[in-house]
Amino acid sequence: MSLVHIPALLVLAAGSFFLLVGSIGLIRFPDFYSRCHATGKSDTLGVMLVIFGLVLIEGLTLNSAKLLLILAFVGLTNPAATHALAQAAFRFGLKPWFRKPPSGRPPDRPAEES
């Protein structure tokens, strides 16, 4: 166990913490758009941190170059996929959830209607 392992293990632990937070947000938030917010950002940061920690452990090899490619790919495509899904859900007809109704309308909570 060399000296670079200590920050690498810290980064790995932080990444798995962000993955856990994204999962909890996915089941706890009230409607689809806030769930997009949870899983689109926390999961991306968590995956990028875990892959960066693995790069630190692996060292300067061909495998770590491929790992950096995966890191860049995930950082580009995961928010893009979440954004595409959110736009498709808006066209699908899902309404955002408000704590108070905007203008006297009765409160609609899309998470509880059938």
Partner 1 sequence: MFEHSFFVILASALTVIIFIPLYRVLAGPHLPDRMLGAGAIGTKTMVLILLIGFIFDRLEMFVDITLAYAMLNFIGTIAMAKYLSSRRKGKP
Binding site for partner 1 (CB under 8 A): 1, 5, 9, 12-13, 15-16, 19-20, 22-24, 26-27, 32, 35-36, 39, 43, 46-47, 50-51, 54, 57-58, 62-63, 66-67, 69-70, 73-74, 77-78, 80-82, 84-85, 87-89, 91-94, 110-114
- Count how many Cα atoms sit within 13 Å of the Cα of residue 38 in the half-sphere of its side chain: 17
CB of 63 to partner 1, least distance (A): 5
Cα gap 17→29, rounded to integer Å: 18
CB count, 10 Å around CB of 19? 18
The separation between the first and the last C-alpha atoms of the chain, rounded to the nearest angstrom, is 55
In the chain, the amino acid numbered 26 is L
In the chain, the amino acid numbered 18 is F
CB of 107 to partner 1, least distance (A): 16
- CB closer to partner 1, 51 vs 104: 51
- CB closer to partner 1, 92 vs 104: 92
- CB closer to partner 1, 20 vs 107: 20
- CB closer to partner 1, 19 vs 104: 19
- Per the CB < 8 A criterion, the answer to whether 18 and 49 are in contact is yes
